Chains A and B, each alone.
Chain A
């Protein structure tokens, strides 16, 4: 049956087909040959089935016949709209690499800007699937336009504001450079795919021209670079894992700073609490398995590693009886001190938790900031101090279980010990302004020199100090709130997290100081 508007309704369908076709069959084949999906395949794989609600699909570049009829429209190379992840609404914007490699000369920049405005205006998490440059394009554009302009990053007023407003996840889905890498960095969680995506400020040809360095894409900005660089939070093996990481990350966070984190059904831990009575070796030199502790305290399947470049500083998200929390701990298999990158990871986690109102659990084992020439050259103390400031500025509830060491400025500042926090120490707790090891010779030099049996005296001093450093001596003076059976950790934290969640409604709204990437 024909309607008054049938021609136009058919025209909408015809134009949406052009949008679906992206850069054409050849370009799509090439994308697949490179081991990468198209922008539309990614959106389908990420979102709940049938939930994508596209905006601006008709925008593009028309080819017209002499009589002015439209032959075809090449879509703009950015697809965006709304959708659902695990039944929750999100905004999503994705670059289309099949058209001019995602570059700006085939874009309608207002679409990208609007994806940011959409997320901010509707207070919804924003997912960016980035591939290509998303800006720049070709210098030929200068000749075509006949002039140059003073650049302002498009939409960056909104990108900046969104960091203090809604969760922003950025996944590098292929090579990412220039404005694209800026958009990846301007996020709360960034992802890179091993062997498939690379991220750099400028790509190999530009770098070679400017600095003489002759590097492949992978050498310049691949997984091996970003595993430790601090610019990428999570390295994943494939696209599927990248999309899963996005879904997982968002599951811990409220849709915006105006809400509290989503509480889900409680799940028993994967490992029995009994493991906690054995996990820390009595020999202080020997490491423990952090995974065992996380698996015995938090809900099964809920431990999510956050900033992966922190070395021994573990930062994560988890659930306690269904309640999302931030977790800071130490992985003794990855180092003994807080590296400058570890300090940055800690700052990032605390800021994330403060922005989105997640209570923080510290499983403290901190011997202080990294020392040595490399540490000094990379501003160990200032980057560590910044992490301490983040901990002191955070208003979210914190609780601490002292697993082992608390030493140095870094140990003292891992959480704010000047405000009221619940605190428990395990019997393996070991703390002080200085570790005993190595300090004895200096402190007792005169006595040792005067002794006719310095060896025996040394042993005697060690025995006395060993008795004095027992956590029970500290507990006698109420220098620690309690020394507990480690097996009670989950039970106590579960009670605490319910108290903590009662306080969160007081904290909703934007952070007092805008969140920085």
Chain B
């Protein structure tokens, strides 16, 4: 299992995947918004989305876990 973290404090603009989805390395899981820019949080490896810990509109802190991937 691998934690996928936010690189910055930002609000959640949209969720791109659902629990159970198979994702590739580099695929956006969640798109954050900061300074009017969209900032995707991408899978750092291939896997299955085990859990999504944020919802749209919510503010996430830098370093916070936004999703968990399983093999």
Instruction: Please report A residues at the B interface, Cβ cutoff 8 Å.
Output: 228, 284-287, 311-312, 332-337, 339, 367, 371-372, 374, 435, 437-438
Instruction: Please report B residues at the A interface, Cβ cutoff 8 Å.
Output: 7-10, 34-40, 42, 62-63
Chain A residues with CB under 8 A of B10: 335
A312-B8, A374-B9 are contacts. A287–B38 as well, Cβ < 8 Å?
Answer: yes
- A438 near B37 (CB under 8 angstroms)? no
- B9 near A228 (CB under 8 angstroms)? no
- A333 near B42 (CB under 8 angstroms)? yes
- B35 near A337 (CB under 8 angstroms)? yes
- B7 near A311 (CB under 8 angstroms)? yes
A sample of 6 cross-chain residue pairs with beta-carbon separation below 8 angstroms, ordered by A number, consists of A287-B38, A333-B7, A337-B35, A374-B62, A437-B36, A438-B36
- B62 near A332 (CB under 8 angstroms)? no
- B36 near A287 (CB under 8 angstroms)? no
Provide the bound-state CA to CA distance between A339 and B34, in Å: 13
- A311 near B8 (CB under 8 angstroms)? yes
The residue that B37 contacts in the complex, of A228, A285, A371, A374, with Cβ under 8 A, is A285
Dominant secondary structure at the A interface: loop
Give the number of residue pairs across the A-B interface with Cβ within 8 Å. Answer: 49
For B38, the closest partner residue in chain A by CB is: A285
Chain B residues with CB under 8 A of A332: 37, 39
A228-B62, A228-B63 are contacts. A285–B36 as well, Cβ < 8 Å?
Answer: yes
The 4 closest A-B pairs by CB, nearest first: A336-B35, A336-B37, A335-B8, A334-B7
- A286 near B38 (CB under 8 angstroms)? yes
The residue that B40 contacts in the complex, of A287, A336, A337, with Cβ under 8 A, is A287
Chain B residues with CB under 8 A of A285: 36-38
A312-B8, A372-B9 are contacts. A335–B38 as well, Cβ < 8 Å?
Answer: no
Provide the bound-state CA to CA distance between A161 and B65, in Å: 42
- Of A332, A334, A336, A437, the most chain B CB neighbours within 10 A belong to A336
B4 to chain A, nearest CB (A): 12
- B34 near A335 (CB under 8 angstroms)? yes
Chain B residues with CB under 8 A of A312: 7-8
B23 to chain A, nearest CB (A): 15
Chain B residues with CB under 8 A of A371: 35
For B34, the closest partner residue in chain A by CB is: A336
The residue that B39 contacts in the complex, of A228, A336, A339, A438, with Cβ under 8 A, is A336
- Of B36, B37, B63, the most chain A CB neighbours within 10 A belong to B37
A384 to chain B, nearest CB (A): 15
Provide the bound-state CA to CA distance between A447 and B36, in Å: 25
Provide the bound-state CA to CA distance between A371 and B8, in Å: 12
Chain B residues with CB under 8 A of A287: 37-40
B36 to chain A, nearest CB (A): 5
- A333 near B8 (CB under 8 angstroms)? no
- B7 near A335 (CB under 8 angstroms)? yes
Q: A335-B7, A337-B34 given. 14 additional CB < 8 A pairs?
A: A285-B37, A285-B38, A287-B38, A311-B8, A333-B40, A333-B42, A334-B7, A335-B8, A335-B34, A336-B8, A336-B36, A371-B35, A372-B9, A438-B36
A311-B7, A374-B9 are contacts. A335–B36 as well, Cβ < 8 Å?
Answer: no
Chain A residues with CB under 8 A of B37: 284-285, 287, 332, 336, 367
